[in-house]
Amino acid sequence: MTIQPQDMVLIVCDGNSARSQMAEAMLAAMSKRRFQVRSAGAHPRDRVHPLAIAAMDEVGINIRNHYPKPVHIFKHDPVKVAICVCDEASAACAAMPAHIEKLHWPIPDPAKATGNEEEQLRVFREVRELLHEKIREWLSQQQ
């Protein structure tokens, strides 16, 4: 499948506060913005998780101005691919129109990490690296 500049890749998770926000910014950067990238949540939280912001800052990607959005606001947008990064939001992805390619990447929720802040940040870093690998692999398959 070839994704055109007018097409959108929508990354969906449950809260749109960590994984999908990280993936949105990373995909936009790695693809050199050759298509639109957005993220949304089935049940959006009230803010982006501070440790997601910190983990992305470490690799030079700023998500400080990102905010959680509900998936339904993109129903009229030119979504070509929906990437669901958690099991909790799989119903939201499944409910999208049939013409949208749907991918499922079951990524652990770093917001559920326990321990002190450094231990939790380590989990956010692991998720960031997992997302990087999945995105790199997916981009290599795009024409």
CA dihedral 128, 37, 88, 100 (to 10 degrees): -140
Q: Is residue 142 part of a domain?
A: no
> For this structure, is 13 an active site residue?
yes
Q: Is residue 141 part of a domain?
A: no
> For this structure, is 86 an active site residue?
yes
For position 101, which CATH number holds?
Answer: 3.40.50.2300
Q: Is residue 102 part of a domain?
A: yes
> For this structure, is 84 an active site residue?
no
Q: Is residue 2 part of a domain?
A: no
Q: Is residue 45 part of a domain?
A: yes
For the chain, how many structural domains are there in total?
A: 1
pLDDT tens string 64-101: 999 999 999 998 899 999 999 988 877 777 778 888 99
Domain span at 72? 8-136
Q: Is residue 108 part of a domain?
A: yes
Mean pLDDT, residues 21-33 taken together: 95
Q: Is residue 3 part of a domain?
A: no
How far apart CA 46 and CA 43 sit, in angstroms, is 10
